[in-house]
Structures are given as structure tokens and as C-alpha cells.
Amino acid sequence: MSQTTARPALPVAILISGRGSNMVAFIEAVAVGQLDANITLVLSNNPDAAGLARAREAGIATAVVNHRDYDSREAFDAAMVARLREAGAELVILAGFMRILTSVFITAFRGRLLNIHPSLLPKYPGLNTHQRALDAGDSEAGVTVHFVTEELDGGPPILQARVPIQRGDTADTLAARVIVEEHKIYPLAARWFVQGRLALSEQGAFLDGERLPDTGLAYRPGLDEVAG
């Protein structure tokens, strides 16, 4: 018997609003055995999210909770929480989910809720991150996986990948290079969670009982072998 049969795969839900390329990275990580998870649901606020079709093609259950059907953010969040509980989600992955969450949602999944943000947090929370890095004349850009707290893009970072900015870069060329790193670091951070090695406390994010730096661990190829 292999070790992985001792414990059932962790039920994971992924929230998307758009194309879902990070979601696909999760589906692939599960398929090749890099992530011992069971993606029980892909949930979107946007009925037209392209990622929904990609999830269905992979045989994953999908659902839409349309924010336009609710009078308040809290009511929308409560409906999503109910749907995620129904799906038995024990880890919730925000993957290009474009609605701001209230404490109704965040408290329901505190410590079990991850996001990926395309900047080197704490730089550039919010939108248009790559353009802002270019406008500021930065020499590098990047992406951060972090725990979600009430502070927008402000929860403790877990893992961060850096990408040099090249002469002539536009927001699009930069985004195209950053997304490659996104697809590596997000399933890796989730793997640590699934392995029971990653935790959120009042003091920050912890991996194997050690507090992570304020910008998260710096990703480099091979980190998964060393840390995993």
C-alpha cells in the first residue's frame, strides 16, 4: 500500500471569474500526482467565465453563484459559503476571482483560503499590477501566493516568484512571463497545505512550524524537492 492511500485526498474548491489558467494548473497538478487533492467544485460568480467549460471538460463539477442575484456582498458571500460547504471544501483556492470578499466568507474559511496576486506583495495590491510596476520603473515584477484575510491582498504571503522586467516590456509581455511562474507556485503552496505543513496564525504564515518571511518564501526551481 502506498502512503497516499492512508489519507483521502483533501476536498478543494476553486473560485474563478475568468479564463481559469491557474485552475487548469491545479487540475494538471492533481492529474500528475503532484497535488493530493480532490477538486470537488469549480465555482464562479460569472456565468460566462471561460474556465467553467475547461473544468467541465476535465470532468469537474461546476457551479455559478452570480453576484448580480444578491442585494449585498454579504448575501452573495453567504450563498457561496453554503455552496462550498455542500461541496465539502476544506481548502478554497481563489484563482482570478474578481469579487472582494467580506468577513462572512473570510471567517468561514479562515486559514483555509488562498489567493494568488500578480505582484511582489506588499507592492501593488489591487488592479493593474504589471502596468504599475512598469510605470514605477521597477527592475522586477512577480507574483505572490498568500493567505486571505480581511485586508485586500494583504494576508500573510506564503510563496513569491520574481520575474525580471526587460527593456521594451509591456503589461502584456510581463503578464505572459509572470503567469508561467503563477502556474508553478500556486499548486506548490497548495501542496504544502494539503500535506498539513502550512498554517495561518495571528503571527503570520507558518511552514513546518516556522514563520515565513513577510514576503513569503522565495521560489526557485527545485524548492519543491527541498521543502517537500
> How many amino acids of this chain bind ligand GRF (CB under 6 A)?
14
Q: Could you say which of 22, 46, 160, 215 contacts ligand GRF (CB under 6 A)?
A: 22
Q: Does the protein bind ligand GRF through residue 182 (CB under 6 A)?
A: yes
For ligand GRF, the binding residues in 33-62 under the rule CB under 6 A are none
Q: Does the protein bind ligand GRF through residue 19 (CB under 6 A)?
A: yes
Q: Which is nearer to ligand GRF, 65 or 95 (CB)?
A: 95
Q: Does the protein bind ligand GRF through residue 95 (CB under 6 A)?
A: yes
Residue 35 CB, nearest approach to ligand GRF (Å) = 16
For ligand GRF, the binding residues in 106-125 under the rule CB under 6 A are 116-118
Q: Does the protein bind ligand GRF through residue 153 (CB under 6 A)?
A: no
Q: Does the protein bind ligand GRF through residue 93 (CB under 6 A)?
A: no
Stretch near ligand GRF under the rule CB under 6 A, chosen from 5-13, 20-28, 77-85, 214-222: 20-28
What span, in angstroms and rounded, lies between the C-alpha atoms of 54 and 190? 20
Q: Does the protein bind ligand GRF through residue 130 (CB under 6 A)?
A: no
Grid cell 524548492 — which residue?
Answer: 223
Q: Does the protein bind ligand GRF through residue 20 (CB under 6 A)?
A: yes
- Residue 117 among the catalytic residues: yes
Q: Could you say which of 13, 46, 55, 96 contacts ligand GRF (CB under 6 A)?
A: 96
Q: Which is nearer to ligand GRF, 96 or 194 (CB)?
A: 96
Catalytic residue among 117, 130, 146, 183: 117
Q: Does the protein bind ligand GRF through residue 156 (CB under 6 A)?
A: no
Quick check: bond before 122 cis, omega within 30? Answer: yes
- The set of residues, in sequence order, having a beta carbon less than 8 Å from that of 190 and lying 6+ positions away, is 12, 26, 29, 35, 37, 91, 93, 114
Residue with the shortest CB distance to ligand GRF: 96
Taking phi over 0 as left and psi of -120 to 50 as alpha, with beta for the rest, 207 belongs to beta
Contact positions vs ligand GRF (CB under 6 A): 16, 18-22, 95-96, 116-118, 143, 179, 182
Give the active site residues. 117
